[in-house]
Copies of this chain bind each other. A is one copy, B any other.
Amino acid sequence: MATSANTQQRDPNTVLVGKKPVMNYVLACLTLLQNGNSGVTIKARGRAISKAVDVAQILTKRFATDVTVKKISIDTEQVKSPETGTTSNVSSIEIKLEK
């Protein structure tokens, strides 16, 4: 959905979780899976990390029970504030789901 619109340089099977309601991202993942993809990657940064875990759990436990969590990795990204110009560290998560 809208989440994959601004991720042209990324893997098209990636859903970037942000500030929208959880079910938006669940639907985005379901759409990708129903379009013949065997897997989908959920990414999030900062506070959206909790929501990314929610998305993965709702998918695997309720809507796509044939999909399982294949790999979870965490990392730190440097984010530059456009106002102050200072860089800060933000944690990120990547959850790979596969059929």
B57 to A76, Cβ gap below 8 A? yes
* Chain B residues, CB < 8 A from A54: 91
Is A47 an interface residue, CB under 8 A from the partner? Answer: yes
Is A61 an interface residue, CB under 8 A from the partner? Answer: yes
A72 to B75, Cβ gap below 8 A? no
Is A49 an interface residue, CB under 8 A from the partner? Answer: yes
Copy number in this complex?
Answer: 2
Q: A53-B93, A69-B74 are in contact. List 16 more A-B contacts (CB 8 A).
A: A46-B50, A47-B47, A47-B50, A48-B50, A49-B53, A50-B50, A53-B74, A53-B91, A54-B91, A56-B91, A57-B76, A57-B91, A69-B73, A72-B72, A72-B73, A74-B95
* Chain B residues, CB < 8 A from A76: 57, 61
A56–B92 alpha-carbon span in the complex (Å): 11
